[in-house]
Amino acid sequence: MALVEDTGFDAFDAGPLAESWRQQPGTPAYCTDLTRQELPDALATADAARSPKRRDLGLAVVRERFGAGVQPDAEYLVRLNRAISM
C-alpha cells in the first residue's frame, strides 16, 4: 500500500481475494470513480446476485449507444456505471 501511496494514489485495502467480487463489473465500486471515503460503502452494498445483471445491462447500453468500432469515453462510462450500479 505504501508503494501505491508513494505514486500519488490513495491505497485502500478492500479485503481478501474471496471478497474481490465486490469490485467486479456491475457493482457500485466498479468504474464509478469513487473517493477513498466513498469506497467502503460501495463495497458493502455490492450484491452478488444482481451484479451480473447490472454488468450485462451496462454492456447492452454501450453496444446500443455506440455500435461496433466506437469507444465511449471514460466520463460516459463512469456516469453509466453510477446510474446502473449505485
Residue 31: other Cβ atoms inside 10 A: 17
pLDDT digits (tens, 9 = 90+) for 51-66: 999 999 999 999 998 8
CA angle in degrees (0–180, nearest 5) for 80-81-84: 85
- Residue range 65-70: average pLDDT? 83
- The pLDDT value given to residue 78: 96
- The pLDDT value given to residue 10: 84
Q: What is the mean pLDDT of the chain?
A: 93
Grid coordinates representing 71 are: 469507444
- Residue range 23-51: average pLDDT? 95
Reply yes or no on whether the pLDDT at 19 is more than 80: yes
- Residue range 24-43: average pLDDT? 95
